[in-house]
Structure 1
Amino acid sequence: MKSLGSIRRSFAPWNDPEARPYIVFENVTKRFGDFTAVNDLSLDIYEREFFALLGASGCGKSTLLRMLAGFEEPTSGRILLEGQDLRGIPPYRRPVNMMFQSYALFPHMTVEANIAFGLKQDGMPKADIEARVAEMLKLVRLEQFARRKPHQLSGGQRQRVALARSVAKRPKVLLLDEPLGALDKKLREATQFELMDLQQELGLTFVVVTHDQEEAMTMADRIAIMDKGQVMQVATPAEVYEAPTSRFVADFVGNVNMLEGTVAERSEKTATITGASGARIVVENAGDAAAGSEVAFAIRPEKIKVSSRPPAAGVPNVMEGEIWDLAYLGDMTVYHVKLSDGQVVKASALNSARITEDQLSWNDKAWISFAPDAGVVLTR
């Protein structure tokens, strides 16, 4: 069986019918007055999973996290952790810890004092606290900064202190609300991999809230795409990108071309879609699209080939147009090709060679083509 995209690890308990979810949101609704932040949502998260809640501002992802942490209670429905209903259990008695975007470090305390704070509140013996703090400092590679105050640290170092303090109490679940939002792009990218490595080393369940698609795609084992308080799709990063189940998900994650049309012919393996311009698209990933139905064909820019010459006879899914715009980005070139019906299709080509043989420029005639399995048919 061929897999979609690259596989970071073989961990996939959601495919095991015998596996029991670690965290369960069961028909959860949360209202604030007349506003419904989370609407009859059900979701399963598994032990040791790195799970991401991804969506635009106001979609309900942070509210979901706050209910799991105990800062909010569901209006209706249940949240279970290891089979235990969390309703009525205050935040400080839940086996979860939350790391906020602001980090909320105590400015007057040293790094080691910040990490030790929660352990002292729990009454842990002094010797055990010292050992645990030393362990956490080593884990986040901040041993030499133990006596510094937060203002003497970089943004990335403060983020590590907050992370060390969050995991020092050994929670069963670590909740991260936009944890990398305050870091610059380069540091954010490096820290994403550090978080992934740390999560696997600790063996904890991580649930992260983010609006950054690249962040979710990089770190998470699975992603829940949210919109208006509901989950639109739950899948691995590769499945969300390569096999979206709706126009919303396809459009929300990455760049995509959406070609609307009608299913003219349907067989067991393929479907033929005709568009407004009369172009015929042969597709293998047609799902349950029936003949005569109105559908969208979603295809990513990197799956489309652009050429200054017509492809050889017999090549499927060929359309003629002209270069409407283009951008050279160094590692790739992005083309905007205007088809005969006026629709502009985006295509991207990797610049694997320093010198381009097939040079295309503005207003040049061009042909686009793609394989039958390059995109997916969407019925909703």
Structure 2
Amino acid sequence: MAKSLGPVKRKFAPWTEPGAVPFIRFENITKRYGDFTAVSNLNLDIYEREFFSLLGPSGCGKTTLMRMLAGFEEPTEGRILLQGKDISGVPPYRRPTNMMFQSYALFPHMTVEKNVAFGLEQDNLPKGEIQTRVEEMLRLVKLEEFAKRKPGQLSGGQRQRVALARSLAKRPKVLLLDEPLGALDRKLREETQFELMDIQHTLGLTFLIVTHDQEEAMTVSDRIAVMDKGVIVQVATPAEIYEAPNCRYVADFIGDINIMEGTVVSASAGRGEAGTVGIDCDGLPVAVEQQQCTAAAGDKVAFAIRPEKVRISLDQPVDTSVNAAYGEVWDIGYLGDFSVFLVKLPDDRIIRAAQANVSRLVDRPITFGDMVWLRWPHDAGLVLAR
């Protein structure tokens, strides 16, 4: 198995195994609505038991892709394979998938247990089996004591769990989640993310979630597909997406980042090889150690570095010839667990530096108007050629 970048949730990475067969395969999928192309010649493999996220801004095509898998839309071109079988033309109710909608779509006049049982009754399952499966699902989502209540008597988080139980009751091979946590407050959303992960691991199902919430995708996913304008820009694990974005779009879309334009002045290795790249970012000398870099001397590139990798200090570093900048603290964002400092350089550029608040400080050592030094290690940033 290939070594993963950053921490992993579990020892599960079938996409790194040469002989692994995809559970879901999108082959050359295009979806047009008149003159508008929502999805363009897209290819994607998803593996069994994977928690996979489609992440991107509104209108990027992620929901359209999910709806085609569910059977609510048909591709204009291409085909979708599930367990090696083409499911094009198969109606939604005959596909081994189930979708949980953002609105939950619960029946307000039915009790919790009746809502969960609804799909099973539609399939004419024996009453005994329905009762057993409903009880199993309510235990799974920890709602046994609320079985006789109606949706209007539940909190938002409880209604979300009822919708999840109903979606899982039919034992689909693939559960599709369309912005499932969007209606929850931040704290409840964070708690529910871990509950979803636990349920997915317990049942061993394949989960496909559509979201525009970067933090949500980073938390729950084994892998993420970042989409833009109907195409997939990068598919990778959360750590790889964050630490090694393959282009400026992904780097800028995921989390907070400083991006500076520059010109390569030196490269200690050939294209695609590991080495140190020297960049002139409009007078700011930068050196970057990178495992794979396609840049060569004279190329126009961007240097990208996350704020938490930039060190801020009142003291001048020993070496200021490279990876160091001097400026004024222009603004401070106090976020509780960490603070973000906006430092204005002499040429009016702003660089963000984040610092963890590891101790309780009454008097902050760095404050507005202070002249500070910023520095970062050679391996902290990235060279982005596109």
C-alpha separation in 1, matches of 2:205 and 2:93: 18
Q: TM-score, normalised by structure 2?
A: 0.96
Equivalent residues in 2 for 1:221-300, closer than 5 Å: 221-268=222-269, 269-276=275-282, 278-285=283-290, 287-300=293-306
Deviation of the 1:32 alpha carbon:
0.7
Q: 1:365 is matched with which residue?
A: 371
Helix, strand or coil at the partner of 1:58: coil
Q: 2:98 is matched with which residue?
A: 97
Q: 2:61 is matched with which residue?
A: 60
Equivalent residues in 2 for 1:171-210, closer than 5 Å: 171-210=172-211
Q: 1:218 is matched with which residue?
A: 219
Q: 1:20 is matched with which residue?
A: 21
Contact kept, 8 Å, 1:316 with 1:371, in 2: the verdict is no
C-alpha separation in 1, matches of 2:79 and 2:249: 27
Contact kept, 8 Å, 1:271 with 1:283, in 2: the verdict is yes
Q: 1:115 is matched with which residue?
A: 116
- Partner deviation per Cα, 1:155-208 (whole Å, 9 max, x = no partner): 111111110110111100000000001111111110000000000000000000
Q: 1:348 is matched with which residue?
A: 354
C-alpha separation in 2, matches of 1:230 and 1:290: 28
AA paired with 2:289? E
Is 2:344 the counterpart of 1:338?
yes
Is 2:166 the counterpart of 1:160?
no
- Partner deviation per Cα, 1:81-130 (whole Å, 9 max, x = no partner): 01111111000000000000011111111111111111111111111111
Q: 2:380 aligns with which of 361, 365, 374?
A: 374
Equivalenced residues, count: 379
Q: Higher mean Cα deviation, 170-179 or 102-111?
A: 102-111
Q: 2:272 is matched with which residue?
A: none
AA paired with 1:112? E
C-alpha separation in 2, matches of 1:315 and 1:134: 67
Deviation of the 1:356 alpha carbon:
7.7
Q: 1:318 is matched with which residue?
A: 324
AA paired with 2:27? E
- Partner deviation per Cα, 1:31-88 (whole Å, 9 max, x = no partner): 1111111011111100000000001111100000000000000000111101111111
Contact kept, 8 Å, 1:79 with 1:85, in 2: the verdict is yes
Helix, strand or coil at the partner of 1:218: helix
Any gaps of 5 or more consecutive residues in structure 1? none
C-alpha separation in 1, matches of 2:199 and 2:368: 48
C-alpha separation in 2, matches of 1:279 and 1:316: 8
Deviation of the 1:319 alpha carbon:
1.3
Contact kept, 8 Å, 1:331 with 1:350, in 2: the verdict is yes
Contact kept, 8 Å, 1:308 with 1:358, in 2: the verdict is no
Is 2:76 the counterpart of 1:70?
no
Helix, strand or coil at the partner of 1:260: strand
AA paired with 1:250? A
Residues 262 and 301 of structure 1, relative CA distance in 2, 3 Å threshold: same
Helix, strand or coil at the partner of 2:130: helix
C-alpha separation in 2, matches of 1:55 and 1:85: 27
C-alpha separation in 2, matches of 1:357 and 1:348: 18
Deviation of the 1:355 alpha carbon:
3.1
- Partner deviation per Cα, 1:135-158 (whole Å, 9 max, x = no partner): 111111111111111111111111
AA paired with 2:238? P
AA paired with 1:341? D
C-alpha separation in 1, matches of 2:123 and 2:264: 64
AA paired with 1:299? I
Any gaps of 5 or more consecutive residues in structure 2? 270-274
Is 2:334 the counterpart of 1:328?
yes
AA paired with 2:130? I
Is 2:146 the counterpart of 1:145?
yes
Contact kept, 8 Å, 1:274 with 1:281, in 2: the verdict is yes
Contact kept, 8 Å, 2:285 with 2:321, in 1: the verdict is no
Helix, strand or coil at the partner of 1:239: helix
C-alpha separation in 2, matches of 1:112 and 1:145: 8
Helix, strand or coil at the partner of 1:248: helix
Contact kept, 8 Å, 1:307 with 1:358, in 2: the verdict is no
AA paired with 2:123? D
Q: 1:11 is matched with which residue?
A: 12
Contact kept, 8 Å, 1:289 with 1:295, in 2: the verdict is yes
Contact kept, 8 Å, 1:260 with 1:275, in 2: the verdict is yes
Query: Percent of aligned pairs with the same residue?
Result: 64
AA paired with 1:200? H
Contact kept, 8 Å, 1:29 with 1:77, in 2: the verdict is yes
Contact kept, 8 Å, 1:316 with 1:372, in 2: the verdict is no
Equivalent residues in 2 for 1:18-57, closer than 5 Å: 18-57=19-58
What's the C-alpha RMSD, in Å, of the aligned pairs? 1.4
Deviation of the 1:328 alpha carbon:
2.4
Residues 2 and 335 of structure 1, relative CA distance in 2, 3 Å threshold: farther
Helix, strand or coil at the partner of 1:144: helix
